[in-house]
Amino acid sequence: MHSDAFDRYHHKNSALHRLDPRIKVVVTIAFILSNALLPDGAWMAFALSWLFLLLASALSNLGLGFTFRRSFIALPFALAAVTVLFSVPGNLLFQFHFMLSDFTVTDAGLLRFVSIVIRSWLSVQMAILLVAATRFPDLVHAFEHLRVPAILTTIIAFLYRYLFVLTDEVIRLLRARQSRSAAAPGHRPCRDVVMQRLYMARVAGNMAGQLFLRSYERSDRIYNAMLARGYTGQLRTLNAHVMKSSDWLFAALSAILILFLQLIGRL
Amino acid sequence: MHIPDNFLSIIISMICWAITIVTLGVAISRTNKTLGERQVPLMGVMAAFIFAAQMINFPVAGGTSGHLLGGALAAITLGPWAGMLVMTAVIAVQGLLFQDGGLVVMGANILNMGLVTVALGYGLYRSVIGQSRITKLTAAGIAAWLSVLAGALLTSLELWLSGTAKLQLVIPAMLGIHALIGLGEALVTVAALSFILRTRPDLLGEQSASAQGGRGWVVAGVLIALAVVLLSPFASANPDGLERVAINMGFIQTGQPAPYQIIPDYTIPFLGATPLSTIVAGAIGVIIVSAIVFMAGRSLQTRKS
């Protein structure tokens, strides 16, 4: 099994793909911060923010709907924000009775809820675009340039490298469990549901312990192999990042656009 | 529990980043001192292990399935500082690559799921190091359960302080769900540790990285555990009280005069109204869970040769 289903990079030859990873990271974070700083109900500014996102999508050759299709991942979390509907004082919109409590939805609560969901939705899409248009090692390298400690970026690089290897290992473990978990139709291996659940939790725990030992022993071999190839405690890259004039241009345009939409949002 | 971007206010995100950066700074300087270059591939592969181990699922109840979160397990097997770095890497990749958690709020996610869980998990485990196997496993189970609750509690508090969620609803919902998730976490952590103790006891022995943490961890772990145990029932039963405390301490400036019209005498019926009774209730809850974890640990032990 090839578990490169994890890789979120989409190979395309586009202006956004060629952009310096550092610029892409900084602009993405500035974009998310700018969304957070916009006041509730700044619809014009939200629309401009969305336009910015669409422009970036257009530059990426991935299609305008690309980020939209993947943007529902943060939606379940909106459930936590639903509670804000009932907690902001304002004019009463409607009221309902549920589980012994009266819930009152106010216009201010609704405004706040919709604003939170829009902000979060825009931010998630920009992050999706960043990862789709930047190779992960370049991304990690960019974070290193942005002063993230080397030990962390190295761990992250290793995590990414061995994620695929260990996922294959997990898939083998899961397949082995499945092939040994047969039961005749209508026959329950264990009458007592609680004992059965405990048993299954123990099997999962044994698998986790097994995976731990395999990973631990593998890391030894990896270290020895690295030493054999001249590892001195530092990872090197051929991909030296050099800022081109197009990078500076994109950064400047993004900064102007973000300042402009902040201005619109506050007027 | 991964908070997406823009669900926390800028101020709360920045406070969380500050705490996270300071803690990670200490963790990095400590690991640089005590660990050699050999440990770097080890920590990287262990981070991938936590990530991959989260895919091992098992049925819980009603068609839902549980899986490992790994904070306590990472802390116990790798030691506190390395555990923190490993969990940080896992959460960073979840946020960066899979958009499971935002970028600007990543500081909060690392704090909730990577730092507090490790400190609590390690502290409680460290307090019983050198004891019998069953004591160790019981402590690990309780630590795993509490670490999940600690993360859920912190997440709810951050959401509430950001004005994104209503305390009266988010605390009971989050703590209720995560009390169950935490049971799964406890069972799997105990079983995994029991497996490692059986096959490679040297990895968890007196000489291992996990035994090297200072005594201070016990204090830190017990303090965080106490905070969770005392604050959770208080916040569930008496959210208005917590809100008042926050206003008094200046966390919330908007002195909204009770704007909501959820029934005013909102209390959880079977808990009393005084803080004392809610704390007692919390303590009883912890004892019950400890007993469950202990029994589960016993039943997991029975097959041992």
Q: Which residues of B touch A163 (CB under 8 A)?
A: 48, 51-52, 93
**Which residues, in sequence order, are CB contacts of B27 under 8 Å at separation 6+?**
B81, B84, B85
pLDDT of residue B183: 87
Subunit contact A174:B56, Cβ cutoff 8 A: yes
Q: Which residues of A touch B6 (CB under 8 A)?
A: 32, 35-36, 116, 119-120, 123
The CA-atom distances, in angstroms, between B226 and each of A83, A130, A136, B126 are 28, 41, 40, 16
pLDDT of residue A181: 77
Residue B68: which of A96, A208, A82, A129 has the closest Cα?
A208
A162 touches chain B (CB under 8 A): yes
**Which residues, in sequence order, are CB contacts of B274 under 8 Å at separation 6+?**
none
| pLDDT bucket at B92, cuts 50 / 70 / 90 | very high
What span, in angstroms and rounded, lies between the C-alpha atoms of A51 and A256?
14
Q: Give buried/exposed letters for A161-192 (b at 16+ CB in 10 A, else e).
A: bbbbebbebbeebeeebeeeeeeeeeeeeeee
What span, in angstroms and rounded, lies between the C-alpha atoms of B208 and B183?
27
The CA-atom distances, in angstroms, between B217 and each of A183, B119, B212 are 47, 7, 10
pLDDT of residue B169: 77
Selected residues 207-226 of chain A with any CB under 8 Å from a CB in chain B: 207-213, 215-216, 218-220, 222-223, 226
Burial class (CB in 10 A: 0-12, 13-18, 19+), B50: buried
Within 13 A of B124's CA, how many CA atoms are on the CB side?
A: 27
- Say if residues A166 and A215 touch (Cβ distance below 8 Å): yes
Predicted TM-score of the model (pTM): 0.83
Selected residues 50-69 of chain A with any CB under 8 Å from a CB in chain B: none
pLDDT of residue B256: 38
Strand partners, B66: B58
Q: Which residues of A touch B104 (CB under 8 A)?
A: 29, 32-33, 36, 123
What span, in angstroms and rounded, lies between the C-alpha atoms of B31 and B55?
28
| pLDDT bucket at B109, cuts 50 / 70 / 90 | very high
Which residue does chain B place closest to A149, by CA atoms? B28
Which of A161, A210, A231 lies closest to B195 in CB terms? A210
Q: Which residues of A touch B89 (CB under 8 A)?
A: 152, 155-156, 159
SS3 label, residue A238:
coil
Which of B24, B38, B165 lies closest to A80 in CB terms? B165
The CA-atom distances, in angstroms, between A21 and each of A34, B173, B254 are 20, 40, 41
Q: What ipTM did this prediction achieve?
A: 0.85
SS3 label, residue B197:
helix
Selected residues 15-54 of chain A with any CB under 8 Å from a CB in chain B: 28-29, 32-33, 35-37
End-to-end CA gap in chain B: 38
Q: Per mean pLDDT, which range of A259-263, B256-260, B296-300 is the poorest?
A: B256-260
% of chain B with per-residue pLDDT over 90: 28
Q: Measured over all CA atoms, what is the biggest interatomic distance in chain B, rounded to whole angstroms?
A: 64
Mean pLDDT of B239-256: 55
User: Does residue B178 carry a pLDDT above 60?
Assistant: yes
H and E: helices and strands count for chain A: 10, 2
- Say if residues B93 and A159 touch (Cβ distance below 8 Å): yes
What span, in angstroms and rounded, lies between the C-alpha atoms of B296 and B188?
11
The CA-atom distances, in angstroms, between B41 and each of A60, A232, B19, B38 are 34, 12, 27, 6
Q: Which residues of B touch A158 (CB under 8 A)?
A: 40-41, 43-45, 47-48
pLDDT of residue A27: 95
SS3 label, residue B57:
strand
pLDDT of residue A183: 65
Q: Which residues of A touch B66 (CB under 8 A)?
A: 201
Which residue does chain A place closest to B5, by CA atoms? A120
Q: Which residues of A touch B196 (CB under 8 A)?
A: 209, 212-213
User: Does residue A25 carry a pLDDT above 70?
Assistant: yes
Strand partners, A92: A106
Average pLDDT, chain A: 84
pLDDT of residue B303: 42
Instruction: Check residues B213 and B50 and name the one with the higher pLDDT.
Output: B50
Which residue does chain B place closest to A106, by CA atoms? B260
Which residue does chain A place closest to B173, by CA atoms? A80
| pLDDT bucket at A150, cuts 50 / 70 / 90 | confident
CATH numbers and ranges of domains, chain B = 10-252+267-301 (1.10.1760.20)
Mean pLDDT of B185-204: 89
Domain boundaries, chain A: 7-135+242-266
| pLDDT bucket at A186, cuts 50 / 70 / 90 | low
State the nearest Cα–Cα gap between B249 and chain A, in angstroms: 21
Token representation of residue B204: 């968890």
